[in-house]
Amino acid sequence: MSNYQEYSARSVKLVDIPQVTRLLESGVLLNSEQAFTNGVDLSSAGLISSFLLPQRSLYTLVARAEKQAVVGQMRMQQDRHQAHILYVAPNLNYDQDNSAWLHVLDALAAEAGRRGAHMLTAEVDEDLSLFETMRVAGFSIYARQEIWQHAPGELPELPVDKVDLTEEVEADAHGIHNLYCNIVPRLVQQVASPPSHSNGLVYRKNERVEGYIAVSEGRAGIYLMPYLHPDVFSEAAAILAAAIEQTRRSHERVPVYVSVRRYQDWLEDALVDLGFEPWTRQAVMVRHITAGVRQAAFAPLSAQLEAVPTPLKPPTARTKPIVEKFTEE
């Protein structure tokens, strides 16, 4: 392990771009939506944009231990008090010292805490060495998910009637919230919400929201995160097919990926019927961040003592002068 004096972590600067570009070529993406829709832009313009545009809530850090440099990037989600790690580069091999990776994970957690996040999340392939390193770094498994892929091409014809999906509107918020609370385990709800950049498709049955599909689109693929009530088991394949067909109007030559969390593994039969194949298994990992005080405020001890109420004096203290007066008389 590295000594403390040999460790450093700081924000990435423009002079680091050549080195960061080389590291990213062997990096690992820890955000499934980003990985399966857009990937990482390795062009200089793309890297400069991600480093220097704070309004995008992106923060990139580089950590060094011994002779190893590791870069990590996270995205803040201010409305959810969360930060999500987008990537860590390079990938960690099983025979490597993981000191630099531990340092960059700690630095990302510290930076997220300073920005007001309560938790730092990541989606990690379970067969990676980084998975074990993140557990050492204080990350816990909150959920498991399997990613399914359908190559570019037509979906098979289904022996069921087609269903209609509508784009999410503000009036659907209450129904979607009820659906979410009914199917997602309480412990997982804080980290299982749809991606913030996704669009929503709603399936209604008997005037109730029984299905919701979060759709993210990019140049590399289409990423779906379904939330379907078990009561629509028989319509699951038709709902997924409708979402794909509705989305592929502008993306006909890209693969489609579907994230299936463990609590909805009954969707796998519908995906097999649609021609999907298992792609990878991932763990949704979370590191909780202790809320800190940004700037401590110390008041003089005398001021604190003055604020303490004065204890009540016994009645005899006030009557003593009266007793002395009668004694003198």
Tens of pLDDT, residues 149-173: 999 888 888 767 889 999 999 999 9
| Sign of the alpha-carbon torsion through 5, 10, 16, 22 | positive
pLDDT at 148: 97
Cβ(284)–Cβ(82) below 8 Å: no
Q: Over the chain, what is the mean pLDDT?
A: 84
User: What percent of the chain stands above pLDDT 70?
Assistant: 79
Q: Cα separation of 175 and 296, whole Å?
A: 43
pLDDT at 219: 87
pLDDT digit string (tens) for 30-39?
999 999 998 7
Q: Cα separation of 79 and 195, whole Å?
A: 12
Q: Cα separation of 254 and 152, whole Å?
A: 5
Q: Cα separation of 182 and 66, whole Å?
A: 49
Cα distances (Å, whole numbers) of residue 176 to 129, 147, 151: 37, 23, 30
User: What domains lie within the chain, and their CATH numbers?
Assistant: 4-138 (3.40.630.30), 148-282 (3.40.630.30)
pLDDT digit string (tens) for 237-262?
999 999 998 887 656 788 999 999 99
Mean pLDDT over residues 88-110, rounded?
A: 93
Q: Cα separation of 148 and 224, whole Å?
A: 10
pLDDT at 222: 93
pLDDT at 294 over 80: no
For the chain, the C-alpha Rg in angstroms (whole number) is 28
pTM: 0.81
Q: What are 29's two structure tokens?
A: 């993406």
pLDDT at 45: 58
Q: Cα separation of 146 and 215, whole Å?
A: 17
Cβ(134)–Cβ(235) below 8 Å: no
CA nearest neighbour of 69 among 39, 40, 107, 35: 107
